[in-house]
Amino acid sequence: MENFRRVRTTDEDDGKPLPFINICPSVVKMRVKEGSKIRNLIGYAMSHMLSEGTGQIVFSAYGRGVTKAVTCVEILKRQIGGLHQVTKVQYKTLQEVWEQKGPNVHQPAPCLTVQKNYPSICILLSKEPLDPHEEGYQPPQSLAPIEIGKRTFLSPVKQCTAKKRKEK
């Protein structure tokens, strides 16, 4: 493949509807990519979930972004609490077109077309109850405080102010 370069990548799954039933039309769709910053994703999702009009949000990712999407969902569930979740796992098909590179191409080969299947995930979080019989459903977690040994954990705000400064 060192003699070829990728010309374009097309997503065969673009325009497909979300794999969930009974979602509201005003659902917020978050596309998580490999380079997305978790802090930015959580901030945007929190602002929408805490507003009165929005009750549902969908996180979708494929490839290396799947773990980042799951991390965002778990953080959001802990910060807001009482969220119902439905998870759908599937494959996403991408088609890549490669052509031969270099100025001295003696025998121009036809373009190569490669189809790749990537694992993908779609996670629906909702404030309103969802169908518990739907495949991939998780009820809200009860977040009772758990004391682990003798350790006490400070909130992030208290940790920042509690740090000692070195004196010179």
Q: Tens digits of per-residue pLDDT, 54-79?
A: 789 999 999 999 999 999 999 999 99
Q: Are 89 and 119 in contact (CB under 8 A)?
A: yes
pTM for this model (two decimals): 0.74
Domain membership of residue 25 (yes or no) is yes
Whole-number Å distance between alpha carbons of 131 and 51: 23
User: What integer pLDDT is reported at residue 154 of this predicted model?
Assistant: 46
Q: What are phi and psi of 20, to 5 degrees?
A: -110, 150
Domain membership of residue 168 (yes or no) is no
What is the three-class DSSP state of 9? Answer: strand
Q: Which domain holds residue 43?
A: 4-141
Provide the CA 34 distance to its chain's centre, in angstroms: 9
Q: Total domain count for the chain?
A: 1
Domain membership of residue 95 (yes or no) is yes
Whole-number Å distance between alpha carbons of 92 and 66: 12
Q: Tens digits of per-residue pLDDT, 4-44?
A: 888 888 887 677 778 888 788 888 899 999 999 999 999 99
CATH number at residue 80: 3.30.110.20
3-state secondary structure 104-121: CCCCCCCCEEEEEEEEEE
Does residue 166 carry a pLDDT above 70?
Answer: no
Domain membership of residue 113 (yes or no) is yes
